Chains A and B, each alone.
Chain A
Amino acid sequence: MAYNVSTEGMDELSRTLGSLGNAAQGVAAAALYEGAGMMADAVSSGIEGISTDLFRYAKDGQQRKPSPEEKAILRGAGKAGIAKFTKGGTSVDTSVGFNNAGYAAVSWKTRKSRTTYEMNGQTVKPVPMIANAINSGTSFMQKQPFFRKAVSRTQAKAKARIESEVLRMLEDAANKQLNG
Chain B
Amino acid sequence: MPEDYMNLAEALQEIGLPCAENAWNTRPKGSYITYALEFEADADYGDNLKIGRAWEGSIDLFATSKRGDGYPAQIEAALNANCDGCWRCERHGTWEQETGLFHFEWVFQVEG
Which residues of A does B touch, CB under 8 Å? Answer: 60-65, 113-115, 136-140, 142-143, 145, 148-149, 152-153, 156
Given contacts A136-B91, A139-B99, contact A149 B27 (CB under 8 A): no
Contact with A along B68-91 (1 / 0, CB 8 A): 000000000000000000000011
Expressed in whole angstroms, the minimum distance between the Cβ of B17 and any Cβ of chain A is: 14
Residues of B close to A139: CB separation below 8 A: 27, 62, 96, 99, 101, 103
Asked if B27 and A61 make an inter-chain contact with CB atoms under 8 angstroms apart, the answer reads yes
Interface residue tally on B, bucketed by range: 20 to 34
Residues of B close to A143: CB separation below 8 A: 34, 58, 60
Selected contact of A145 from candidates B23, B58, B62, CB within 8 Å: B58
Residues of B close to A142: CB separation below 8 A: 23-24
Asked if A149 and B97 make an inter-chain contact with CB atoms under 8 angstroms apart, the answer reads no
- Using CB atoms, name the residue of chain A closest to B97: A113
Asked if B96 and A63 make an inter-chain contact with CB atoms under 8 angstroms apart, the answer reads no
Asked if A61 and B26 make an inter-chain contact with CB atoms under 8 angstroms apart, the answer reads yes
A-B CB pair tally, cutoff 8 Å? 59
Residues of B close to A60: CB separation below 8 A: 26
Which residues of B does A touch, CB under 8 Å? Answer: 23-29, 34, 38-39, 41-42, 56, 58, 60, 62, 90-91, 96-99, 101, 103, 105, 107
Residues of B close to A115: CB separation below 8 A: 97
B39, B98, B99, B105: most-surrounded residue (chain A CB, <10 A) = B98
A-B contact pairs, 7 of them (CB 8 A): A62-B27, A63-B23, A136-B91, A137-B60, A138-B103, A145-B58, A149-B39
Given contacts A115-B97, A138-B96, contact A63 B103 (CB under 8 A): no
